[in-house]
Amino acid sequence: MAMETIELKCNVTLPERGKHIAVKRGGCCARGDGSEGFIMSNVATTPGDMTERGCTYAGCRGVVGGPVKDVIQMTHGPIGCAFFSWGYRPHLADSDFHMKYTFVTDMNESNIVFGGEKKLLQCIIEAAQEFPAAKGVFVYNTCATALIGDDGKDVAKQATEIIGKPVVFFECEGFRGVSQSAGHHVGNETIFKELVGSVEPEGDFSRAINIVGDYNIKNDMRTFEHLFETLGLKILTRFTGNVSIEEIKIMHKAQLNVVHCQRSATYIADMMQAKYNTPYINVTLFGLKAMAQALRDTAAFFGLEAQAEVVIERELARVMPQIEYYRQRLQGKRVFIYQGAPRAWHWIELLRELGMETVVAATTFGHDDDYQKIFSKIQEGGLIIDNPNVPEIEEVLTDHTPDLFISGNKEKYVAHKLGVPFVNGHTYDTGPYAGFSGMVNFARDIDKALNSPVWRLLRAQGRPAPQVSSPVT
């Protein structure tokens, strides 16, 4: 049933939000406030709007740079910036270095008054001495150090000579962009300019690919890496899940970039195409059909189509009985997905494979291309929200009565308090969710959330409970 009411009640005092809320109607975008145009995205949040967005620093340090496993990750700024970007995103590596340590220049009041450059240089030298196994230092700028005008780039140059290892400075001060998305861009550009192609290795790279835009959240990569390798391909560099700095330096030797997160990592694929003529393909590594397509498209590039079909057939035969079991249990459920950006569209098809429909899709920092993909995939009448604020999320959970909410830790307890089953799509409570076997884990976790006995107890106590597919008006 089409949703007729798209003005959210909570936005009466915030009319600017109307352009960020839309419904798919007649295959097109109908804006919440009735104005003309596509859903508005990637613009500054209206002051006073209780956004959930992160900052540029978060996108650079937490998402793109942070997973590089053998470098010292140093925040140039106040200690809070370092603490709150440490360990929250489970981009696992085969070393626990980053789980154990985070590094910060700990800018205090006198540093802000007199400048932090000397302190930064001293911190880099000290950290490099304490951790001689580290292969370099990534330094991330913050609002405080940018505002006082510290020349971190120059310090990084001096430090590189002193410690004899690459020191890379990221100009990712929090206020630089409208969301963490700008930090992805800074991270891509800096890594590309400073590291990619800085080494020219010998060897046979004729079957080498890079997996671009996967960050190994709870070991997602384990679900699909071996499948590409079974085709006879070599994964040279992972950008940036479980990757070493040496692997980044030789990334340009690959024949093909396979791009999964097309929000955070298309930048580097584009830059490599321009400079090294490295082609890239966009793939989705979530869901059975998409994962099969990713293998097919990658294999086709190398003329390995027959091998791909063998792998796909084997994997589908392995997981289909379990998927079928869950599909029976999940059939007909209506879902609200709220993710950073790509996962909102990646998962519409995946949920469909499990018999579920996405009725609301929202992203924190999606751009036009993300929303184009959401519009093309979501069903008619689907509600789409850009950068939703907390009251909007609560209103959607209450009034649009989704059976399931897929989102992150920030929203988990709101959902539970409102009696809506919840699955953590960002950091996964269990996972991994990628690839064929990850899809089984995903289905299992959705089933556990939806069919937990706790909802019956809540209902017995007269508390709110998930509604069963009541039509949305």
Residue 166 CB, shortest distance to ligand CFM, in Å, is: 23
In contact, 423 and 339? CB cutoff 8 Å? no
Nearer to ligand CFM, 52 or 70 (CB): 52
In contact, 450 and 330? CB cutoff 8 Å? yes
In contact, 199 and 249? CB cutoff 8 Å? yes
32, 174, 177, 340: which one binds ligand CFM (CB under 6 A): 340
x/- site string to ligand CFM, residues 360 to 399, per CB under 6 A? Answer: ----------------------------------------
212, 217, 236, 423: which one binds ligand CFM (CB under 6 A): 217
Find the part of the chain contacting ligand CFM (CB under 6 A) among 33-41, 143-151, 260-268, 442-450: 260-268
In contact, 302 and 281? CB cutoff 8 Å? no
Residues 6+ apart with CB under 8 A from 33: 7, 15, 18, 19, 21
Contact between 191 and ligand CFM by CB under 6 A: the answer reads no
Q: Which residues are catalytic?
A: 55, 58, 89, 184
Residue 360 CB, shortest distance to ligand CFM, in Å, is: 16
Contact between 284 and ligand CFM by CB under 6 A: the answer reads no
Nearer to ligand CFM, 215 or 405 (CB): 215
Contact between 426 and ligand CFM by CB under 6 A: the answer reads yes
11, 142, 240, 264: which one binds ligand CFM (CB under 6 A): 264
Sign, CA torsion 343/258/240/309: positive
Contact between 343 and ligand CFM by CB under 6 A: the answer reads yes
In contact, 197 and 267? CB cutoff 8 Å? no
Contact between 423 and ligand CFM by CB under 6 A: the answer reads no
Contact between 339 and ligand CFM by CB under 6 A: the answer reads yes
Backbone torsions φ then ψ of 29, nearest 5 degrees: -95, 120
In contact, 245 and 195? CB cutoff 8 Å? yes
Contact between 263 and ligand CFM by CB under 6 A: the answer reads yes
Q: What angle do CA 220, 224, 229 make, to 5 degrees?
A: 140
Burial classification of residue 161, based on how many CB atoms lie within 10 Å of its CB (0-12 exposed, 13-18 middle, 19 or more buried): exposed
Helical (H) or strand (E) element with 86: none
Q: Give alpha helix (H) positions in 14-133.
A: 56-57, 79-83, 97-100, 109-114, 117-130
x/- site string to ligand CFM, residues 87 to 116, per CB under 6 A? Answer: --x---------------------------
Nearer to ligand CFM, 111 or 264 (CB): 264
Contact between 190 and ligand CFM by CB under 6 A: the answer reads no
Residue 220 CB, shortest distance to ligand CFM, in Å, is: 8
| Residue that is written with structure tokens 């006082």 in the block | 148
Q: How far apart are CA 166 and CA 253, in angstroms?
A: 20
What residues are paired with 235 via a beta bridge? 209
81, 134, 261, 354: which one binds ligand CFM (CB under 6 A): 261
Q: How far apart are CA 199 and CA 211, in angstroms?
A: 19
Find the part of the chain contacting ligand CFM (CB under 6 A) among 107-115, 226-234, 322-330, 333-341: 333-341
- Which residues bind to ligand CFM, rule: CB under 6 A? 59, 63, 89, 180, 215, 217, 261, 263-264, 339-343, 426
